[in-house]
Amino acid sequence: SSELTQDPTVSVALGQTVRITCQGDSLRGFYASWFQQKPGQAPLLVIYDRDKRPSGIPDRFSGSSSGNTASLTIAGAQAEDEGDYYCNSRDTNSDHLVVFGGGTKLTVL
Protein backbone atom coordinates (compact mmCIF):
# COMPACT_ATOMS: atom_id res chain seq x y z
CA SER A 1 0.00 0.00 0.00
CA SER A 2 0.99 3.65 -0.34
CA GLU A 3 2.50 5.58 2.51
CA LEU A 4 1.86 9.03 3.90
CA THR A 5 4.63 10.79 5.80
CA GLN A 6 4.14 13.34 8.58
CA ASP A 7 6.56 15.06 10.92
CA PRO A 8 6.24 13.35 14.32
CA THR A 9 6.14 16.55 16.36
CA VAL A 10 5.35 20.20 15.73
CA SER A 11 5.02 23.04 18.20
CA VAL A 12 3.45 26.48 17.96
CA ALA A 13 3.19 29.45 20.25
CA LEU A 14 -0.27 30.30 21.45
CA GLY A 15 -2.02 32.48 18.90
CA GLN A 16 0.48 31.85 16.15
CA THR A 17 -0.01 30.00 12.86
CA VAL A 18 1.20 26.47 12.31
CA ARG A 19 1.30 24.22 9.27
CA ILE A 20 1.29 20.45 9.47
CA THR A 21 2.27 18.60 6.31
CA CYS A 22 1.62 15.19 4.83
CA GLN A 23 3.53 13.74 1.90
CA GLY A 24 2.86 10.75 -0.29
CA ASP A 25 2.34 9.55 -3.82
CA SER A 26 -1.36 8.96 -3.25
CA LEU A 27 -1.81 12.70 -2.77
CA ARG A 28 -1.05 13.29 -6.43
CA GLY A 29 -4.33 11.60 -7.27
CA PHE A 30 -6.48 11.89 -4.17
CA TYR A 31 -7.23 14.71 -1.76
CA ALA A 32 -6.35 14.38 1.90
CA SER A 33 -8.55 14.48 4.94
CA TRP A 34 -7.28 15.54 8.34
CA PHE A 35 -8.22 14.27 11.79
CA GLN A 36 -7.55 15.69 15.22
CA GLN A 37 -7.28 13.25 18.10
CA LYS A 38 -6.97 14.02 21.79
CA PRO A 39 -5.94 11.45 24.41
CA GLY A 40 -8.62 8.89 25.07
CA GLN A 41 -10.91 10.25 22.35
CA ALA A 42 -11.96 9.13 18.91
CA PRO A 43 -10.56 10.98 15.90
CA LEU A 44 -12.37 14.14 14.82
CA LEU A 45 -12.57 15.02 11.14
CA VAL A 46 -11.40 18.63 10.76
CA ILE A 47 -10.72 18.87 7.02
CA TYR A 48 -11.96 16.77 4.12
CA ASP A 49 -11.70 16.86 0.35
CA ARG A 50 -8.49 18.90 0.66
CA ASP A 51 -9.96 22.11 2.07
CA LYS A 52 -13.50 21.64 3.35
CA ARG A 53 -14.47 21.94 7.00
CA PRO A 54 -17.25 19.86 8.55
CA SER A 55 -19.90 21.72 10.43
CA GLY A 56 -18.67 22.88 13.82
CA ILE A 57 -14.97 23.02 12.96
CA PRO A 58 -13.55 26.50 13.59
CA ASP A 59 -12.48 28.45 10.53
CA ARG A 60 -8.95 28.75 11.87
CA PHE A 61 -8.48 25.26 10.41
CA SER A 62 -7.76 25.17 6.70
CA GLY A 63 -6.37 22.69 4.22
CA SER A 64 -4.42 22.89 1.00
CA SER A 65 -2.38 20.71 -1.30
CA SER A 66 0.30 20.88 -3.96
CA GLY A 67 1.79 17.97 -5.82
CA ASN A 68 2.39 15.14 -3.39
CA THR A 69 1.97 17.28 -0.28
CA ALA A 70 -1.14 18.15 1.71
CA SER A 71 -1.10 20.74 4.45
CA LEU A 72 -3.24 21.54 7.44
CA THR A 73 -2.92 25.11 8.68
CA ILE A 74 -4.16 26.36 12.03
CA ALA A 75 -4.26 30.14 12.09
CA GLY A 76 -4.12 31.51 15.62
CA ALA A 77 -3.60 28.22 17.41
CA GLN A 78 -5.47 27.77 20.67
CA ALA A 79 -4.60 25.64 23.67
CA GLU A 80 -7.45 23.27 22.80
CA ASP A 81 -5.86 22.56 19.43
CA GLU A 82 -3.12 20.56 21.10
CA GLY A 83 -3.29 16.91 20.14
CA ASP A 84 -2.40 14.43 17.44
CA TYR A 85 -3.20 15.14 13.82
CA TYR A 86 -3.49 12.47 11.13
CA CYS A 87 -3.83 12.82 7.40
CA ASN A 88 -5.43 10.17 5.24
CA SER A 89 -6.31 9.54 1.64
CA ARG A 90 -7.27 6.76 -0.68
CA ASP A 91 -4.53 4.36 -1.69
CA THR A 92 -2.93 4.80 -5.09
CA ASN A 93 -2.82 1.06 -5.64
CA SER A 94 -6.49 0.48 -4.99
CA ASP A 95 -8.94 3.28 -4.40
CA HIS A 96 -11.11 1.31 -2.00
CA LEU A 97 -8.20 1.11 0.39
CA VAL A 98 -7.37 3.86 2.86
CA VAL A 99 -3.96 5.01 4.08
CA PHE A 100 -3.00 7.18 7.03
CA GLY A 101 0.01 9.23 7.89
CA GLY A 102 1.87 8.34 11.04
CA GLY A 103 0.51 11.36 12.87
CA THR A 104 1.88 14.68 14.11
CA LYS A 105 1.80 15.60 17.77
CA LEU A 106 1.02 19.29 18.01
CA THR A 107 2.11 21.13 21.13
CA VAL A 108 0.75 24.61 21.79
CA LEU A 109 3.27 26.53 23.89
List contacts with other proteins (CB under 8 A).
1, 33, 35, 37, 41-45, 48-49, 54, 86, 88, 90, 95-103
Phi-psi region of 34 (alpha: psi -120 to 50; beta: other; left: phi over 0): beta
Considering the complex, state which of residue 3 and residue 13 has its C-beta at the smaller distance from other proteins: 3
Considering the complex, state which of residue 15 and residue 62 has its C-beta at the smaller distance from other proteins: 62
Q: What is the nearest approach in angstroms of other proteins to the Cβ of residue 15?
A: 28
Considering the complex, state which of residue 37 and residue 69 has its C-beta at the smaller distance from other proteins: 37
Q: What is the nearest approach in angstroms of other proteins to the Cβ of residue 76?
A: 24
Considering the complex, state which of residue 16 and residue 49 has its C-beta at the smaller distance from other proteins: 49
Q: Write phi, then psi, for 28 (nearest 5 degrees).
A: -75, -20
Q: What is the nearest approach in angstroms of other proteins to the Cβ of residue 14?
A: 26
Contact 102/8 with Cβ under 8 angstroms? yes
The CB density around residue 99, as the number of other CB atoms within 10 Å, is: 20
Q: Are strands 9-12 and 104-108 parallel, antiparallel or unpaired?
A: parallel
Contact 50/103 with Cβ under 8 angstroms? no
